[in-house]
Amino acid sequence: MIAGYADYPGYGNTPHGGVKGFYKLFSRGESLHGRKTLEGIDAIILWGGMDVGSSIYGEECYLGPQHANNTPSHRDIFEWGLLKLAYEKGMPVIGVCRGAQLMCAFAGGKLAQDVSGHHANHAVKASDGTIFNDVSSSHHQMMYPYDNTEHEVLATTLSPLSAYYKGLTDNEAETVKQKGEPEVVYFPQLRGIAIQSHPEWHNYDKWSSSNPAGAEKFNDWLYSLIEQNLFKGK
């Protein structure tokens, strides 16, 4: 299978043909920048990077109406268009970090615009109770899928890590504390899996997890989820 990846100039992490971290699922990757169709592509991967402009999901930046983070970037608009194309075609989508956050917004959710405690490896708990230790993480925004989206949270942090959830109401922040800080979310209407962590960093260079066996276990679990939910019957 071939994965198309969002390769907006100047942004994104696209080594290994744009499928780093998912090379067991795809034979190769192909940049989608400048494309007007998704012909020949089996799935889309949206990688991490800059903050998502809050107005794209109907919210004002918590830092005020004049802050730059209110306005969607060129990358936001480009990748939003890719999500629209994928949705219309029923094409599978995988989002990593920022890509996961954009997927959540597209599905009708919103973001915690600033959180703490997510700039170091941490434990992740799957919905079946399996615990994966030392999963790579580096983000200060976070998915909030709990209202207004059709979703299934497949994994959360083992316990809440953030001391605050800026951009969420008090009730929404309490929901996160009760239900968990989402790490992996399935959005069936998007045919997409959103991954807040960085599976592409595991076992690579300076970003390698200090627990490679645990990291590989997490990645293999993700592969299984993606195959089961996005490519069943392929």
Q: How far apart are CA 170 and CA 163, in angstroms?
A: 13
Q: Which residues contact 41 (CB under 8 A, 6 or more apart)?
A: 2, 3, 4, 30, 32, 91
Q: List the beta bridge partners of residue 45.
A: 5, 94
Q: Are 155 and 127 in contact (CB under 8 A)?
A: yes
Question: pLDDT-based confidence at 12, cuts 50/70/90?
Answer: very low
User: pLDDT of 87-121, one tens digit each?
Assistant: 999 999 999 999 999 999 999 999 999 999 998 88
Separation CA 17–CA 6 (nearest Å): 12
pLDDT (mean) for 135-159: 92
Residue 9 has a pLDDT of 54
Exposed, middle or buried, 208 (CB in 10 Å: 0-12/13-18/19+)?
Answer: middle
Q: Of the segments 12-26, 100-114, 128-142, which one has the largest average pLDDT value?
A: 100-114
Lowest mean pLDDT segment, chosen from 11-15, 22-26, 42-46, 63-67: 11-15
Residue 213 is predicted with a pLDDT of 62
Residue with token string 């990688």: 47
CB-facing half-sphere around the CA of 114: CA atoms within 13 A: 8
- Average pLDDT (150-156) is 96
Domain interval for residue 62? 2-230
Q: What is the CATH number of the domain that holds 181?
A: 3.40.50.880
User: What's the pLDDT score for residue 105?
Assistant: 95
How many domains is the chain built from? 1
Residue-level pLDDT at 166: 94
- pLDDT at residue 217, rounded to an integer: 86
